[in-house]
Structure 1
Amino acid sequence: MTTPRDESVDIIERELTAFARRARAAAARLHPELPLVSYTLLAHIHDQRGCRATDLAAHYMLDKSTVSRQVSALEKLGLVERRPDPDDQRVQVLHPTATGSELLSSTHASRRAAYQKRLADWSAEDLGRFASYLLRYNASGPTAH
């Protein structure tokens, strides 16, 4: 027998899947050669003001080979560059190039405008609750698929 809680979880799963699909489609429209994973990694590198590939793998719980492929693609597109770590010349730190930073800036502006439009008729209270629910959900840690 399905409970109201089960039905709610099913709706949440379905809607989060739809959300993820829209995010991937939006990323593809913004830069056809930049998958959502690559965009996310580029944004993290930018936000951290540089980081190692191993930091990306740990933060996003990705296999190192996956991160390596994504970083290589970002480098080929001229969006990321490697620089030696000033504290340890053996370590390579990833940094966005000027082109990568510009792409992130324009993409962020487009995404923010899309969110503003989609949420325009939501009250400040609804937005606050939604934001707190997302924070709470994401803070609860990784889930098994």
Structure 2
Amino acid sequence: MTTREASMETIQRELTAIARRARATAARMHPELSLVAYTILAHVEEQQGCRATDLAAHYLLDKSTVSRQVGALEKLGFLERRVDAADHRVQVLHLAPRGVEILAAARVGRRMSFEERLAEWDPSDLSQFARYLVRYNEDAAAHP
């Protein structure tokens, strides 16, 4: 195995571990807020509202899958639909007050978790890690 192949194996294994840990952390933060639910709420917040079809396109998911997730989040009081001011035929998803609260609480919990995990890291290592994560995510977004 070449050095590059070994590095790619390590990257794949470690990113998978990160994803598993993120799902487990989401479950601990709020039993009704899965990692998928958290990402949907965060995306709706970031976009300051979006259509369910926008979510499906963004996450490359089937519309029925998104519809089930959105329906569950509405039932929990985390999301609400509003009529689009520009086109009254379109409904736009927005965070409901309870969604704002649960997302803020989850962020605080996640931040505390990161603070604990990375407490011993040197500031320059943290900075480099942050730059690499941004670079990775920018490349991933550019090459879906």
TM superposition score normalised by structure 2: 0.93
1:94 aligns with 2:93: yes
Secondary structure at 1:32's aligned position in 2?
coil
The amino acid across from 1:94 in the alignment is L
Secondary structure at 1:90's aligned position in 2?
coil
Q: Deviations over 1:71-121 (max 9, x none)?
A: 011011111010000111100000111111000111100100110111111
Secondary structure at 2:44's aligned position in 1?
helix
Q: 1:115 maps to which residue?
A: 114
* 1:73-88 correspondence to structure 2 within 5 Å: 73-88=72-87
The amino acid across from 2:62 in the alignment is D
Q: After the TM superposition, which of the residue ranges 89-98 and 127-136 deviates more from structure 2?
A: 127-136
Q: 1:7 maps to which residue?
A: 6
Q: 2 CA distance for matches of 1:67 and 1:139?
A: 24
Secondary structure at 1:95's aligned position in 2?
strand
Cα distance, 1:33 vs. partner? 2.0
Q: 2 CA distance for matches of 1:103 and 1:122?
A: 29
Cα distance, 1:141 vs. partner? 2.6
Q: 2:37 maps to which residue?
A: 38
The amino acid across from 2:16 in the alignment is T
Q: How many residues of Structure 1 are paired with residues of Structure 2 in the alignment? A: 143
Q: 2 CA distance for matches of 1:141 and 1:112?
A: 23
The amino acid across from 1:47 in the alignment is E
Secondary structure at 2:88's aligned position in 1?
strand
Q: 2 CA distance for matches of 1:46 and 1:66?
A: 20
Q: 1 CA distance for matches of 2:32 and 2:112?
A: 22
Q: 1:52 maps to which residue?
A: 51
Q: 1 CA distance for matches of 2:74 and 2:21?
A: 26
Q: 2 CA distance for matches of 1:108 and 1:121?
A: 21
The amino acid across from 1:128 in the alignment is S
Q: 2 CA distance for matches of 1:31 and 1:110?
A: 10
Q: 1 CA distance for matches of 2:62 and 2:138?
A: 21
Q: 2 CA distance for matches of 1:106 and 1:138?
A: 24
1:68 aligns with 2:62: no
Cα distance, 1:52 vs. partner? 0.9
Structure 2: unaligned runs, 5 residues or longer: none
